[in-house]
Structure 1
Amino acid sequence: MQDKTLYTVTIFSENTVGLLSQVTSVFTRRQLNIETLSVSPSALKGIHKFTITVFCDEEMIKKVVLQVDKRVDVLKSYYNTNDELIHQEIALYKLSTPDFLKIESVEGLIRKYNARILDINENSVVLEKTGHYQETQDLFEELSKSIGVLQFIRSGRVAITKSKIERLSDMLAELDKKYSEDK
């Protein structure tokens, strides 16, 4: 991935049927593979937030964001690099209980990775690890090598900017001010 950076695209929109398809088609047309995708309500009432990660160069991400912004139901989209964000992923690991209990120091493993046991029964143990991609991947690799992993899932990235408020709030305040001045 020469000259490629992992960008996080944040898209603010109303919760409209079919918008996800429209947004992902922008990436598809530019032959960009979406690494992670997460959609949820934002801090602003009635506004949803898409968080998408993709590897590409800055010229390409600028074009993608401009294309996404042209969608009728998109209020605004932005892109950021990792150093401009606070971000996390969540991973769940299902393990065999008998194999899990054979680990020399279960408590040490849990502490080392700052993981939590979500569920335990006679057949399986489910661990949860929240962190950056590499942190969740490191735990997966250690468990895979030592006892095997029955099931594994990792969420898409969730991210917020390091700025005080959502960037969309600034844009909406400017629009409101302009609207008030025009009256």
Structure 2
Amino acid sequence: MKRRIVSATVNNQSGVLHRITGLFTKRQFNIESITVGVTEIEGVSKMTFVVNVEDDRQVEQLIKQLNKQIDVLKVSDITDQAIVARELALIKVISNAQTRSEISGIVELFRASIIDVSRESVTVQVTGDSEKMDAIIDLLRPYGIKELARTGITAFPRGSQKSVANMKQYSLLK
């Protein structure tokens, strides 16, 4: 199975997410993760799906089917592109006075942050790629993870050098 990252720009309308995930279900695709949020354009949202496919034909078929949806504006398989991708994890770790400094050291190492502290636990917030999430979870697991929530990947293609140059020209014109 190949892991693919598919990005879809859609109209922000009621029922769009339901129709799109229904299409995944009909085609028997398992969604590993999905993130959805508004974009810089009012009324438009970005969806990022991570799916496992057997071959490239399957992802091509999925993209064709998504493009047929009325509220879908653009669909891309961005897996093989240079992309900016991030994930967020909240991890509630069992902690007491003796282990809190050890956990704090791990958190600092990963440039994460402790966002909540109680007598029996600390909650850690970490952002980054999936490998970073897996690594910090593995290091915190021996302390005891009470709760874990991950957002899934949100991503888009990196800007090209040409677009960066165009932005510099534009800023010079102002």
Question: TM-score scaled by structure 2?
Answer: 0.83
What's 2:146 paired with? 150
SS of structure 2 residue aligned to 1:61? helix
SS of structure 2 residue aligned to 1:81? coil
Q: What is the aligned residue count?
A: 159
The C-alpha deviation readout for 1:134-177, integer Å capped at 9, x for no partner, is: 21112112211x2110000100211121135xxxxxxxxxxxxx
CA displacement at 1:106 relative to structure 2? 3.4
CA displacement at 1:103 relative to structure 2? 5.7
CA displacement at 1:115 relative to structure 2? 1.4
What is the rounded CA distance, in whole Å, between the counterparts of 1:115 and 1:79 in structure 2?
A: 30
What's 1:58 paired with? 56
What's 1:69 paired with? 67
What's 1:181 paired with? none
What is the rounded CA distance, in whole Å, between the counterparts of 2:113 and 2:100 in structure 1?
A: 16
SS of structure 2 residue aligned to 1:71? coil
SS of structure 1 residue aligned to 2:106? helix
Q: Match of 1:124, as an amino acid?
A: S
SS of structure 1 residue aligned to 2:69? coil
Q: Match of 1:78, as an amino acid?
A: S
Q: Match of 1:59, as an amino acid?
A: R
Q: Match of 1:76, as an amino acid?
A: K
| Residues 142/106 of structure 1: CA separation in 2 closer, same or farther (3 Å cut) | closer
Question: TM-score scaled by structure 1?
Answer: 0.79
Aligned residues: CA RMSD: 1.8
Gap regions ≥5 residues in structure 1: 165-183
CA displacement at 1:104 relative to structure 2? 6.4
What's 2:164 paired with? none
Name segments (4+ residues, structure 1) moved above 4 Å: none
Matches within 5 A, 1:3-152: 4=2, 6-56=3-53, 57-81=55-79, 83-98=81-96, 101-102=98-99, 105-144=102-141, 146-152=142-148
Q: What percent identity do the matched residue pairs reach? A: 28
What is the rounded CA distance, in whole Å, between the counterparts of 1:126 and 1:149 in structure 2?
A: 10
Gap regions ≥5 residues in structure 2: 161-174
